[in-house]
């Protein structure tokens, strides 16, 4: 009797552990960190707060690393809404349709970036609500002899690594349905077989003696069959594009938008030389969300292939909603503040969110200089982007058991010498992008390097430094300077002069002195999308990585943030001003 009590108690503990694991799994899922992601960007992707992520992953407060994983809470799981699912090893799209009781078509529609090629373990996808409520059938009292703890189980099987329901059923000479019926929780849409949990192995059902009939095993559909064939690329002879920007008003801002549009028209003329027709629909966007809504309501733009614009952040949401509804590509060349990129699969952010820019620049810095002596130079200025960048560098070093040195701009030469290393390159990263800091830094560096020739220096700077070349180009060369940036106009490149001449010939006035160069930005942006769509037609999204252009200023490397999000331009590079007075580009390889 005592022995039987122990068996009953053990079985109860096993089932308790199993259901605890299921409940935890249903309320969370696993996200594998990708290059360039931050806690903030991941939170935006899943519509939660950064604090919710850090609560489940305390170490994330000190920084995250590509390739590591985070536990993410599910939202509104019990309210019949969509949920997130991390694909497990060996899972197929067909298996997901069975587990969640939704069609493959619905899963693919809610994950427009999902393909048979990228359907891999570790990827997170959205799962729409079940097509109908599934109630597990009631457990019937078994007629065969009773097993463990009078449960109808001949034994409790502990799930091992890489085991599947199929492999377990073969081991015990049972069908998968027999095991499911003995474990009602398996009939729940969110059930997953989890290593370390226990499942009931029932006694085999009595088999009736019948004439043996050979039945051909049912062939389960593959991911390729369920997802359908890729869209076939085909040239598109007519491309319809829109440009919606604040052209009117005569302000400096309006003049920049006019120059941008002129660059677009130059790209249109270039693509027409290849035999493609282009219809351009240009509208003044005004300033407010109401102004952009008037454009949407009063002009025939619902059948365009893509729209470039708007400029003002408050206008992005209404135009993004319209483009998503009508499956129009929305190309946003200026603002990096739009949250719509996380949810609109037709959104293209030419200027990606700051979090992605800073993370990519940090990774590029660590890849090139992670083994050198990194020195963060503190100023008394309040430059949040620069401070975020240097903080990312500090945390990346800490994750590799290294430490950044710290200096104040006004520290004594003795203090400077204490943190320098004669056997490594000393990589100085100011926490401000201002020219005021550079005006202080370069005289200090010159005097110190003359007194201490044993030290070798490199300088890491910010995109704004491209505007300081008229004052500090020689200093950039001298101190082996690297400036991170998502775009670059090389003044030593003959193509720049070619563009300026063509612009003046077409519009009878020179381009504006600005950073970035708005005419070149307009040309590069329009030409990339015109070339891609005219070359591949509806298959452009699948072939955009093959859409190569020779840019005047802006290069493009678009990638989705998630399977349901829009695209961000992941282009990030270092402009290297070498001591030999050359300018070279070093790109971040994804």
Same domain as 153, residue 269: no
**Which pLDDT does position 372 carry in this prediction?**
95
Both tokens assigned to 91: 């899972």
Q: Please list, residue by residue across 37-74, b when 16 or more beta carbons sit within 10 angstroms of its beta carbon and e when fewer do.
A: bbbbbbbbbbeeebeebbeebeebeebbeeeeebebeb
**Which pLDDT does position 154 carry in this prediction?**
80
Same domain as 297, residue 264: yes
CA 213 to chain centre: 53
| Torsion sign across C-alpha atoms 304, 302, 343, 234 | negative
Q: Confirm whether 288 is domain-assigned.
A: yes
Residue position matching structure tokens 């005569």: 250
Q: Confirm whether 515 is domain-assigned.
A: yes
**Which pLDDT does position 284 carry in this prediction?**
97
**Single residue among 206, 228, 254 that ends a domain in this structure:** 206
CA distance 458 to 451: 17
**Which pLDDT does position 194 carry in this prediction?**
84
Q: CB count, 10 Å around CB of 271?
A: 19
Distances (CA, A) of 437 to 409, 417, 443, 465, 576: 8, 20, 11, 11, 20
**Which pLDDT does position 253 carry in this prediction?**
96
The enclosing domain of 501 has a CATH number of: 3.40.50.2300
Range of the domain at 360: 355-485
Same domain as 433, residue 319: no
H helices of 139-234, where? 165-171, 176-182, 223-227
CA distance 35 to 579: 31
Nearest partner of 339 among 368, 314, 303, judged by Cα: 314
Q: CB count, 10 Å around CB of 339?
A: 14
Number of domains in the chain: 3
Q: Confirm whether 187 is domain-assigned.
A: yes
Same domain as 77, residue 195: yes
Q: Confirm whether 90 is domain-assigned.
A: yes
Same domain as 541, residue 468: no
- The residues pairing with 573 across neighbouring beta strands, listed in sequence order, are 485, 587
Same domain as 420, residue 547: no
Whether 299 and 281 have beta carbons less than 8 Å apart is answered as: yes
Same domain as 473, residue 498: no
Q: Confirm whether 428 is domain-assigned.
A: yes
Peptide bond just before 524 cis, omega within 30 deg: no
Same domain as 130, residue 38: yes
The per-residue pLDDT for range 464-481, each reduced to its tens digit, is 999 999 899 999 999 999
**Which pLDDT does position 37 carry in this prediction?**
86
Q: How many helices (H) does the chain have, and how many strands (E)? A: 19, 20
φ, ψ of residue 241 in degrees (nearest 5) = -125, 150
Q: CB count, 10 Å around CB of 512?
A: 14
Q: Please list, residue by residue across 106-131, b when 16 or more beta carbons sit within 10 angstroms of its beta carbon and e when fewer do.
A: bbbebbbbbeeeebeeebbbbbbbee
Whether 329 and 547 have beta carbons less than 8 Å apart is answered as: no
H helices of 469-546, where? 469-478, 494-507, 518-536, 540-543
CA distance 47 to 547: 32
Same domain as 67, residue 178: yes
Peptide bond just before 516 cis, omega within 30 deg: yes
CA distance 386 to 357: 11
Same domain as 480, residue 512: no
CA distance 443 to 441: 6
**Which pLDDT does position 80 carry in this prediction?**
67
H helices of 235-274, where? 252-272
Residue 215 is classified by DSSP as -
First to last CA, the chain: 65
Q: Confirm whether 222 is domain-assigned.
A: no
**Which pLDDT does position 212 carry in this prediction?**
52
CA distance 95 to 131: 15
The per-residue pLDDT for range 513-523, each reduced to its tens digit, is 888 999 999 99
Q: Confirm whether 10 is domain-assigned.
A: yes
Q: CB count, 10 Å around CB of 311?
A: 20
Same domain as 544, residue 467: no
Nearest partner of 326 among 350, 348, 307, 349, judged by Cα: 307
Low pLDDT (below 70) residues in the chain: 1-26, 76-80, 132-152, 206-218, 229, 491-494, 589-590
Whether 201 and 182 have beta carbons less than 8 Å apart is answered as: yes
Q: Confirm whether 565 is domain-assigned.
A: no
Whether 453 and 474 have beta carbons less than 8 Å apart is answered as: no
Cα angle, residue 455 at apex, residues 453 and 457 outer, rounded to 5°? 115
Same domain as 471, residue 377: yes
């Amino acid at each position: 009797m005592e022995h039987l009590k122990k068996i009953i108690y053990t079985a109860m503990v096993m089932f308790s552990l199993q259901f605890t694991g299921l409940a935890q799994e249903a309320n969370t899922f696993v996200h594998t960190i990708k290059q360039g992601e931050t806690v903030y960007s991941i939170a935006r992707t899943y519509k939660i707060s950064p604090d919710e992520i850090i609560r489940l992953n305390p170490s994330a407060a000190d920084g995250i690393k590509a390739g590591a994983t985070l536990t993410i809470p599910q939202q509104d799981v019990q309210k019949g809404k969509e949920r997130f699912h991390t694909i497990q090893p060996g899972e197929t799209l067909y298996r997901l349709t069975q587990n969640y009781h939704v069609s493959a078509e619905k899963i693919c529609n809610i994950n427009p970036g999902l393909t048979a090629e990228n359907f891999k373990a570790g990827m997170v996808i959205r799962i729409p609500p079940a097509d109908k409520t599934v109630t597990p059938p009631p457990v019937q009292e078994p007629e065969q002899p009773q097993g463990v703890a009078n449960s109808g189980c001949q034994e409790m099987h502990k799930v091992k690594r890489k085991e599947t329901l199929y492999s377990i059923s073969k081991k015990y000479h049972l069908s998968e349905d027999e095991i499911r019926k003995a474990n009602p929780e398996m009939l729940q849409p969110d059930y997953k077989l989890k290593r370390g949990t226990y499942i009931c192995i029932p006694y085999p059902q009595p088999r009736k003696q019948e004439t043996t009939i050979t039945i051909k095993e049912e062939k389960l559909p593959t991911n390729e069959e369920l997802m359908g064939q890729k869209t076939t690329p085909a040239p598109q002879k007519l491309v319809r594009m829109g440009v919606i920007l604040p052209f009117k008003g005569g302000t400096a801002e309006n003049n920049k938008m006019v120059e941008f549009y002129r660059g677009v028209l130059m790209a249109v003329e270039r693509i027409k030389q290849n035999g493609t027709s282009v219809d351009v629909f240009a509208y003044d966007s005004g300033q407010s969300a109401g102004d952009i809504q008037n454009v949407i309501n009063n002009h025939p733009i619902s059948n365009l292939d893509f729209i470039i614009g708007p400029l003002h952040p408050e206008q992005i949401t209404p135009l993004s909603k319209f483009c998503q509804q009508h499956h129009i590509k929305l190309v946003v060349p200026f603002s990096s503040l739009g949250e719509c990129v996380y949810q609109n699969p037709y959104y293209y952010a030419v200027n990606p969110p700051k979090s992605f820019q800073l993370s990519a620049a940090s990774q590029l810095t660590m890849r090139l200089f992670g083994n050198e002596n990194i020195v963060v130079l503190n100023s008394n200025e309040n430059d949040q982007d620069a401070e975020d960048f240097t903080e990312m560098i500090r945390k990346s070093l800490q994750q590799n058991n290294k430490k950044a040195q710290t200096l104040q701009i006004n520290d004594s030469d003795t203090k400077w010498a204490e943190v320098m290393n004669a056997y490594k390159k000393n990589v100085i990263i100011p926490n401000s992008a201002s020219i005021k800091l550079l005006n202080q830094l370069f005289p200090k560096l010159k005097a110190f390097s003359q007194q201490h020739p044993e030290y070798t220096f490199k300088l890491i700077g910010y995109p704004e430094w491209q505007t300081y070349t008229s004052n500090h180009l020689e200093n950039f060369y001298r101190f082996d300077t690297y400036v991170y940036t998502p775009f670059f106009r090389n003044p030593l490149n003959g193509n720049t002069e070619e563009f300026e001449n063509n612009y003046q010939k077409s519009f009878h006035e020179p381009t504006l002195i600005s950073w970035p160069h708005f005419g070149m930005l307009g040309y590069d942006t329009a030409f990339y999308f015109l070339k891609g769509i005219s070359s591949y037609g509806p298959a452009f999204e699948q072939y955009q990585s093959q859409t190569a252009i020779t840019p005047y200023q802006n290069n493009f490397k678009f990638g989705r943030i998630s399977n349901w999000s829009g695209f961000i331009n992941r282009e990030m590079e270092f402009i290297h001003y070498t001591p030999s007075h050359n300018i070279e580009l070093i790109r971040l390889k994804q």
